[in-house]
Structure 1
């Protein structure tokens, strides 16, 4: 009972949230025109630029919903009949396909096998073969933990397409992201992943090139997620003037401001990325130390935020049930090709070295009880040795 109450959320989002961030949202009688809210919104927009490593040539947005709402808002940049190329490494890369197929645009797909990413050379060959208005990449594929080499991928296509869009839902705040230097037009994320805030917001930045596309009248976008409707709110709020299109998630934005203050001003973005990298490496060392394999097949594809773990004998779902009884919550494997064969460890946000050790220890005990052939104790040892470097 006590272990269940003291749960460690090693999920792929939502994640553990600092009490300080939760308390920032516990304010009564705050409306969307209240001075403290306008100030929090203004502060958040400015810090989002730093989070994505862009300057004032990029426009930040905070919209209700989450990663999927941010993704669907990209339809604001498309007209009927235009061609889109989706580069996908798994389930959430595939989500772009499902979104765009709801609209009158043409969709082509380049897809990787589970555990791999689509090579930049493959994408370059395709955009040379056919003219596309927009190409989407997924920085970290949440379903497998595979990281796409975004810098190289964007460089490979930049001269051949009008717009480059990157889904950074499971990367921003934990992986290196340089939207301006890499010449990305739209980089997006969600509040509940590496930024470490409750769910409810899609966060994105648009280049001046993308903003010019918003000025064009015709678009396939709907109403609520048409960024044209949100743009005046963003520009006004950044100027400190209350503005309205639809009711924003007021208290979640208060929490976002507190989180961004910690990320940018206190921990520092570079330090945060290094922390994630170290903990991710420690967890992978533990997984391999106990004798299991990782879903991502190449070390350069390992991410700082998600590790997929393959099991050999037991059903992966049983591992989750066993581990959560000890107070640690992991994420199920969702890739159809690997159903029942793997589970996911989320290590993002406010994750600590002790969280990594507790997670590997609990997984070892659970697997031993379930009958998986592992080297009991070797996982924890490998994790400790990695962290002690």
Structure 2
């Protein structure tokens, strides 16, 4: 009865392989999505607790730990201020508006849909916005950004470390080095990078790094995370053009108090999610951040090696821009929507393509969080079978073989 109540019918627990005439139980699914991602069971269980208030000592303790660990994740020291707020990556992006004042000018460096989101977001406020765009699958070159800030005076430059819509990685460290003395604030959207890519906020001299719980950190959705430099914190004032709930000035004392184990309140934090976050951070610490990044890199390389040997193309056009977290896959014949439907019947969920310039031409594989080489092999095997059935010209078996060799 519970299954029906939840809107899931008993037959949904079985899927039929088309043309095979047999049914297999499908109670498990491999989520190779771009977020949310598969969640470690220990992380999920950490949130299963009742009667926990936001002023309880146990919550204050996990919040304090999580704020401190967030600095480590982005390569910042104690002079940087971490924030954990309710919401998502977009909420964290909107929180950045807290550092802007009327008439400020922002340069958006965009490699795709989520880079463009900065423009849509900032256009709601009384600030000026220019956009420097790359072609689909490419990235804006550091010298292009440098020239733009030399030609025009900007208060802020925003970048997307990994563009989730294409899987393209921007060389944010090099860009920041070139423009550091030419702009007041450098902001990096690390939603699809933090926890899986090398991030050195202090070394890069970035003023704001932001991310979200549900991506490479392997936590359920529900929290936006930011770390601000002293320069960025100094911009939090009543002169800000920000609203109320996502105005970081209203959260600043709360974060500072909680970090030193003192209860504080502005609005209700996602209490149970923070328990899951603390457990995820504990597991990341146990694995070692450097090891975690290497694991992501290894899995990503295995998947791309497999795809290329299979005979399909990757959206990212330059190997130096391949990310550790997302790979866009271009198809020659098969319909990507059909591919997504078919792979789900075989126990793997992938992500649709969202870049309008590539509509109907590609899908995405997410490989972040708790992902392993075994997950990569399973994904490639399912893709080979499905693409072959749908008439995509591929080298059947070569993708799995190439990935196995890369992992050996």
Question: Does residue 1:26 correspond to 2:30, yes or no?
Answer: no
Task: Mark the CA change 1:3 to 1:119 in structure 2 (over 3 Å): closer, same or farther.
Answer: farther
Q: State whether residues 3 and 326 of structure 1, in contact with CA within 8 Å, keep that contact through their aligned partners in structure 2.
A: no
Q: Distance in 2 between matches of 1:368 and 1:325?
A: 15
1:295: which partner in 2?
315
Q: Distance in 2 between matches of 1:4 and 1:69?
A: 35
2:102: which partner in 1?
80
Q: Distance in 2 between matches of 1:334 and 1:321?
A: 16
Instruction: Pick the aligned partner of 1:123 from 115, 139, 145.
Output: 145
1:305: which partner in 2?
325
2:171: which partner in 1?
149
Give deviations 1:98-119, integer Å, cap 9, x for gaps: 1000001000000000000000
1:256: which partner in 2?
277
TM-score (ref. length: structure 2): 0.94
Question: Does residue 1:226 correspond to 2:265, yes or no?
Answer: no
SS in 1 for 2:132: strand
Give deviations 1:143-183, integer Å, cap 9, x for gaps: 00000001101111111100000000000000000001100
Instruction: Pick the aligned partner of 1:159 from 181, 185, 201.
Output: 181
SS in 2 for 1:202: strand
Q: State whether residues 3 and 327 of structure 1, in contact with CA within 8 Å, keep that contact through their aligned partners in structure 2.
A: no
2:19: which partner in 1?
none
Give how far 1:4 is off: 3.1
What aligned pairs does 1:71-110 form with structure 2 within 5 A after superposition? 71-110=93-132
SS in 1 for 2:282: helix
Q: Distance in 2 between matches of 1:131 and 1:385?
A: 51
Q: Distance in 2 between matches of 1:18 and 1:31?
A: 24
2:259: which partner in 1?
238
Give deviations 1:291-341, integer Å, cap 9, x for gaps: 011000000000000000000001111100000111100000000010110
2:355: which partner in 1?
335
SS in 1 for 2:35: coil
Q: State whether residues 3 and 325 of structure 1, in contact with CA within 8 Å, keep that contact through their aligned partners in structure 2.
A: no
SS in 1 for 2:280: helix
SS in 2 for 1:308: strand
- What are structure 1's unaligned runs of at least 5 residues? none
Task: Mark the CA change 1:173 to 1:133 in structure 2 (over 3 Å): closer, same or farther.
Answer: same
SS in 1 for 2:308: helix
Give deviations 1:34-65, integer Å, cap 9, x for gaps: 11100010000011011111111100000000
Task: Mark the CA change 1:100 to 1:3 in structure 2 (over 3 Å): closer, same or farther.
Answer: farther
Q: State whether residues 17 and 198 of structure 1, in contact with CA within 8 Å, keep that contact through their aligned partners in structure 2.
A: yes
Aligned residues: 386
Q: Distance in 2 between matches of 1:14 and 1:98?
A: 23
- What are structure 2's unaligned runs of at least 5 residues? 1-13, 15-23
Instruction: Pick the aligned partner of 1:283 from 296, 303, 306.
Output: 303
Q: Distance in 1 between matches of 2:361 and 2:336?
A: 6
Task: Mark the CA change 1:275 to 1:212 in structure 2 (over 3 Å): closer, same or farther.
Answer: same
Question: Does residue 1:210 correspond to 2:232, yes or no?
Answer: yes
Which one has a bigger Cα radius of gyration?
A: 2
2:31: which partner in 1?
9
SS in 1 for 2:379: helix
Give how far 1:217 is off: 2.5
SS in 2 for 1:108: strand
Question: Does residue 1:175 correspond to 2:197, yes or no?
Answer: yes
2:88: which partner in 1?
66
Q: State whether residues 103 and 220 of structure 1, in contact with CA within 8 Å, keep that contact through their aligned partners in structure 2.
A: yes
After the TM superposition, which parts of structure 1 deviate over 4 Å for at least 4 consecutive aligned residues?
A: none
TM-score (ref. length: structure 1): 0.99
Instruction: Pick the aligned partner of 1:320 from 340, 347, 357.
Output: 340
Question: Does residue 1:344 correspond to 2:344, yes or no?
Answer: no
Question: Does residue 1:269 correspond to 2:289, yes or no?
Answer: yes
Give how far 1:357 is off: 0.1
Give how far 1:3 is off: 5.1
